[in-house]
Structure 1
């Protein structure tokens, strides 16, 4: 059988959160490409895995790819792991996986722990639709711009944040999303000091400020989506749009209607298009 690249999820805290399959794969491959060999060595020791390790991280991935691809082409199967959780999810590995696919090498996922999904499963916010936003920008100006882009998204948002920025980021969310937006706060999932809470953004600011321990460790924020417009008076909206469309373009009419009704422009625009099509 030709060599394969296995993308192997590893525990996000508790070392026993390894699947039987993941352990067998790590034992069977020729080499393990790890984000941090020292970190991964502890996991391998815990599960009595003696497979050699090689470093593959953000700073050397581009240079290491050719070497690893050559090993795969020579018949050596490789497992890719990150420090914790699923590789490529806010972790290195994308370039390596892409290169393997471009060379016709089979890439096989070995699923397991993922902090984003673990947090979503436990905080009690809607999980039927969600988007993973990774880490927000470190600079406040850029962070606020990113939050503005997400302000009207109705799906649940999953965000990673560094402990030294968590308080500032949540305060920025309050200023953009509003104090009453629900949020799940998941810290140190599966570890000794695991904390999982659900509250409003304003309450989370107080919670973090009152306990500096909440500004430590690995943190996932699960933010409730924006509430969709309710109780829209469709008849009044249609009447206004029809009048505006007598003198204005669809774009201008929908913008004015959206401002007056305090609704999303795309809602007004879609309805304006429907009304003009009816006239045709």
Structure 2
């Protein structure tokens, strides 16, 4: 498969100017049992990792094939590696998203976080990243997502996080994909606002180093100061600034996001809030549709 230039260009335009949000369907090993518990699937109801991933793929397939899960409100979706390699309705997931729903596919590429140092958690090494990116491109993936976490306003730590994010971003760009850089600021940090001010300056300095055509996306915690990231959204090297829900309830995340004129949502837990395996398809689709609509309204 892979991307032809026309498809890539169409997807980039959708991400740049489309009205809507990015669905994060990328819970991985550590967060999958919790996601399943919230979906009404207890840990004693499946045996082993393969069965667990089969359950979460069934949940994601149900979301992707729901009537409201289209590019009318959902611009993109972030996938976990196993989801990328799996199928929805008999097609590789990325192809099913783009061909059938008009939704741009992304891939989560980080392998989790290092222990906290200098008030931050850097990304762990990512072995075989070039091969993964090559595989992603072959599947028709448009871009990637990579997460690190900032816990306090430590200038050295934040500088290191941003440098690592952009270094990995350059590897992604070299593979022909678009990186979503995600230096999350912990919503419970006592120095959240100060950390965000430092983060904004570090990101701006890195963006200014990028050449024309080296365009990135940013996934950031909804800032304490409304409109803080407007300048980043307007930077010529930034396709879009998206917001993570970070542990806020859906209602609070949407209420805070609605005050950010140049950020759109990229929520995971908020998207699936209130959904359960036991629901009838009609109830499931209605609940998901309501979540999609709420997140969409906050994003536009």
Determine which structure has more spread, i.e. the larger CA radius of gyration: 1
Higher relative contact order (CA 8 A, sep 6+): 2
Q: TM-score, normalised by structure 2?
A: 0.27
TM-score relative to the length of structure 1:
0.29
